[in-house]
Amino acid sequence: MTILDGKKTSLDIQKELEVKVKELTKSGANPPHLAAVLVGDNGASRTYVNAKVKACQRVGFKSSLYQLNINTTQKELLSLVHKLNNDDSVDGFIVQLPLPKHIDKNQITLAINPAKDVDGFHPENVGKMSLGLPSFLPATPNGIMEIIRRYNIETEGKNVVVIGRSNIVGTPVSILMSRKSNPGNATVTLAHSRTKNLKDICLNADILIVAIGIPEFISSDMVKSNAVVIDVGIHRIEDSSKKSGFKLLGDVKFDEVSKKCSFITPVPGGVGPMTIASLLMNTYLASYGNK
């Protein structure tokens, strides 16, 4: 069994970007500029945004953080989005999810300029992805594809089962896995909590991607021997024995499934860091294209 080390792979990508940025800025070009908008004080969101800011500093990007009060209105947030759309010094920006319940996330997503949508959520980018056209790919699905590529995991002709149909992970990664590309060219089944005979479907998977949002949902009896398992879930569970007061679990029972599979992502240290790497790759693309 091989651990798919997302933390190491993410740092490798960041080092590659750092070299590229240094080469381009030597000639007087501006470093890529990523802005992040955080509404409220969700602990997990703050941790994630802070990690993005640190990653920007590591690779030589400029970063800006807009921290808004949880009572910020939708109109006020839209005003900031329009401001960032029209700020030529900002190459790309994200509005961190989840948003407070009184704000319609779809309206915010639609308001973002697709050319600065480095999260890859705007319908224009999603549509281009579906057609196989150049676009900003959603950060988490693209991070999954990148770690599969860098570990030379064969996907062509393989049975891939994706559990979870969200617009952020499940649906886009199912599209990417089925595209005529490498990684890709897989036969994909998109399953979810309403799927019948889910265990039997999972047992047919050469590659199992789990993004169902339920702690330790996948057990070893749902995974066939030597399967590749990608665990997208991350959950904070109270644990008084930990200094932090909580432990982190994925959607997969790692201890038992890891004994049965060929490759597996850990939680933490698997898909999460790859999401950040993918965001940086998109920001670089927004700034410099394919240079």
Catalytic machinery residues: 52, 96, 119
Tell me how crowded residue 237 is: count the other CB atoms within 10 A of its CB.
Answer: 11
With H, G, I as helix, E, B as strand and everything else as coil, classify residue 246: strand
Note whether 135 and 129 are within 8 A (CB): yes
User: Using CA of residue 235, residue 240, residue 242, residue 244, what is the dihedral sign?
Assistant: positive
Query: 């904070």: which residue's tokens?
Result: 236
Q: What is the edge-to-edge ordering of all strands in the sheet holding 62-68?
A: 62-68, 33-39, 92-95
Between CA 160 and CA 151 the distance in angstroms is 17
Query: 């889910």: which residue's tokens?
Result: 198
The DSSP 8-state label assigned to residue 26 in this structure reads T
Beta-strand (E) ranges in the chain?
Answer: 2-3, 33-39, 62-68, 92-95, 159-163, 187-191, 207-210, 228-231, 235-238, 246-249, 263-264
